[in-house]
Each structure stands twice: as structure tokens, then as C-alpha cells.
Amino acid sequence: MADLHLVVDRAAGGLAAQIAREVREAVRSGRLAPGDRLPASRDLARDLGLSRGVVVEAYEQLVAEGVLRSRTGAGTRVAAGAGRHAAEPDPENRDGRSRYGYRPTSPDLGAFPRQAWLAAVRHVLATLPNDALDYGDPGGVPALRRELAAYLGRVRAADAHADQIVIVTGVAQGLSLAVQALARELGRRVVLAVEDPTTTRQLPLLRRAGADIVPVPVDGEGIVVGALPGDADAVLVTPAHQYPTGVVLSPARRAALVDWAGRAGALVIEDDYDAEFRFDRDPVGCLQGLAPDRVMLAGSVSKALAPGLRLGWVAAPPGVARAVRLARGELDLGSPVIDQYALAHLIGSGAYDRHLRRMRREYRRRRDALVRALAEHLPRVTVHGISAGLHLYAEPGGDPSGLVAAAHAAGLSAEVVTPALAPGGRPAGLVIGFARLPAHRVTEAVRALAAAGGAVSGDHEPS
């Protein structure tokens, strides 16, 4: 029976998740080998001074992930092959940029609700009629579109019928199909206004789909509507939590944007990428609910569950929805049926809501720990955009490039923010992700960041 050295921060909360992470890391690092027997839950709980239920919950999570196996009479052991696979390079992180996530907006993949998803898939396989496995509507299975229409209306104040929802493989595909549909309707390339700064990952995709990108500045109230070009056919915005600055589009700007779209005959494309995760503010409804005839809402489970599921949706005006559905059918005939039914069951059973509530609490703990640590060890850094989402926006008071490199060295997921669309744009800040950063590891990571950052800038960490 293996004796375990586990570091648990009782003040940080989430004790079961902490234990699961510590054991998972022990397996990945090779400290625990396949076949090694772990202490009985009662013994480990006694060693840690915790309740047995906490250890049982951690063990059950790791069994569901396939890291451990448990059999009556044989105890709990490291699963065969677990260490061998874990010793290989992480395919998401082969460049070694960060121990705590490749992208600052990435969720905690270790928190994926495997048991709930497995139960949903089992339910689908046990109840789904054979005909449902045939080629279907490229716009998505009716059951999922109905569940999403109800969910988006209840949670995001959206105004969309199931017929206006198209299932896609993620927001990226939804944006691409929408631009393609607009370009086909117009008979030319689409003039697409985009917030600046923004994520640069979507720009090649949008251009390939047929868009000519026009940058529009963002200030403390969100996109500057008065700067929108008069010839724009559409505008892409992140009103609930602007990426990367974290600004929430103000009520006045929302009204102005909707008014502009009506006068210009333009489409507003709303990327609702992380709206479920709010911490210090009341829920902000989506723009689509204000003007369903002018706004296309795009969302996915990439932040709520995992990017690898490749499940998303668009809720669009009827004409746009029909065009996107047609484009989807011409592209690849639709998304995997079993996964769509599984997500529909997860939402309909309430398991999706329960998971989101649990993760909101956990992400808030991690955000709070990161903000406190930055204030203590890097007081020159000003933090913004922390009322929601999975990342914060930091202004270091100088060129952030060196600090980003230091963040990577400290294991943090960070990126430079530059007004990349405007000519001559200079780095203004950086985004730091916290979703994969365990609360009890925050101080250690920020101390390393402060030490490395001080060496870069010539400053020293305050005593």
C-alpha cells in the first residue's frame, strides 16, 4: 500500500478536488505507478484530518477519469497504463508553455462531469430508437434544439424558437457558416466590423469564410458604436464579457448598437463565449433577446464543459438560421447524433445547471486567490474584467511582453494583448487564465511570476 504525500490547503475549500489533483499529479509524475494500491479512504482521511466522505469523493472522481480502479476486496489501485500515458507529452501543451492551461480562456478539464456525461450517454443508448442514428437534420437533432431554446431563454434571456437554432461544432464554425451565408446572399465579401483588441485566433477563419475585417475600438463601455463603419454588413461583439478586456457592454451602448443595426440593415453576431460564469454582478441578458430580428447569438459548451466536445449552437433570425443550416448541410451533414442527445439529456435532467453552479463557486475561489496574490506580490499590476469569465486582464504599467514570458515560466497561462488590427498597435496588457490554476497553487505561481518579472523589469518583489 502506497503512502501518499498530499498537500491540502483547508482554507481554500474544494478539498475533494484538491486531493484528486494531488493524486492525479502523483500518477502523472510517476510517483505512483500502475498497480500501486492507495490507502483506504478511511485511513487517508485520518492521515489528512478530513472526513472520509471527502476522500471517497476524490477517489470516485479519479475512478471515473480512469486514473484509478476500485474493486471490492482488492482496494483502490492506480489503473493499468495510467502512468504510462501521463508520462507522454500532453498533446495540448507540447510546447511547454504552461502547466495550468494552453489558453487563458480554457476551463478546468479535470472538472469535466464524466459520471454525469457517462450517465447521459448510457441513457441515450438505452432509449434512442434505431432511426435516430440515421442521417438527420444538418441543423441538429430536434431534442437538443428544443432544450437549448428553453435553456437560453431561461438563463440568457434569449428569444429564439427551436427552429431558429442550428447545432454546430463550436462558435468558430458558427461564425464561419454565418459569414459564408452572408457572402452568398450579398454576392461579395462581407464587411465585418470586429472589436479591437480581440482574439486573433478567429481572424484567419473569418477571412477565409469571406470577411474583410474592419477594427472598431473598445473603451470602458464596450465597443464604440459611433466608430462603426457605415458600409459594415455585420459586427462581431462579445457584449457579456469583452475579450480580452473583460468590459461589459453598457446599457446605452447596447441600445445604440441595436439601433445602428436596424438603420444599417446589418447583422450583429454575438459571441457568448463565457457568459455562464459570473461572480460579482447580476446576470446580463444577451443582445439577441433585445433584437432577435437583428442579432445572431453564438455559444458552445467549450467553456462550460470542454472544448474537445465540439458542440455549439447559433440562435439566429429565421432567414439567417435557414442559410446557416443550408451551409452546414453542404459542409458535413451535421454533428454527431449521440453527443447531441447526450447534451440534451444533461440539460433536461438538470445536471448541466448543477455542474455550472459548482464550477462558478470553484472558479470564483481561484479568481479571488489570484487577485489577492497579484495585489500582494505584483502591486504595480492593475487588474480589470474580473466580475465574470475565466481570465483577467492585467495592465503592468509598461511593456507586458517580458511579464508574459515570466508568466509562462511560472506555469501560468497568459497572452499579450495588442490592438492587432490597428496599424502600429503596441502591447497594452496581458490576459491571465485562472480556471486551471488550483487555489492552493496560486501563491506559489504568482511568487515565481513576481521574481521572474522583477528580474525582467529590474524591480524586486516587495518583502
- What is residue 453's predicted lDDT score, i.e. its pLDDT? 66
Query: In this structure, are residues 172 and 269 in contact, taking their beta carbons and an 8 Å threshold?
Result: no
Sign of CA dihedral 237, 243, 244, 247: positive
Instruction: Read off φ and ψ for residue 191, nearest 5 degrees.
Output: -85, 110
- What is residue 161's predicted lDDT score, i.e. its pLDDT? 96
- What is the Cα 187 distance to its own chain's centre? 35
Please give the grid coordinates belonging to residue 179.
459569414
Residues of the chain predicted below pLDDT 50: 1, 84-97, 423, 455-463
307-to-47, 52, 265 alpha-carbon distances in Å: 37, 33, 33
- Residues of 360-373 as b/e, b for ≥16 C-beta within 10 angstroms? eebbbbbbbbbeeb
- Domain architecture of the chain: domains with CATH: 10-88 (1.10.10.10), 116-349 (3.40.640.10), 356-457 (3.90.1150.10)
Give, in degrees to the nearest 5, the angle at Cα 245 between 244 and 251. 120
Task: Please give the single-letter amino acid code of residue 421.
Answer: L
- What is residue 87's predicted lDDT score, i.e. its pLDDT? 37
- What is residue 219's predicted lDDT score, i.e. its pLDDT? 92
What's the rounded Cα separation, in Å, for the pair 448 and 440? Answer: 14
| Helix and strand totals (H; E) in the chain | 14, 14
- What is residue 275's predicted lDDT score, i.e. its pLDDT? 85
Burial environment of residue 38 by CB neighbours within 10 A (0 to 12, 13 to 18, 19 or more): buried
For helices 337-348 and 142-155, give the axis angle rounded to 10 degrees: 40
- Reported as a single tens digit per residue, the pLDDT across 53-95 is 999 989 988 887 778 988 877 789 998 877 644 433 343 444 4
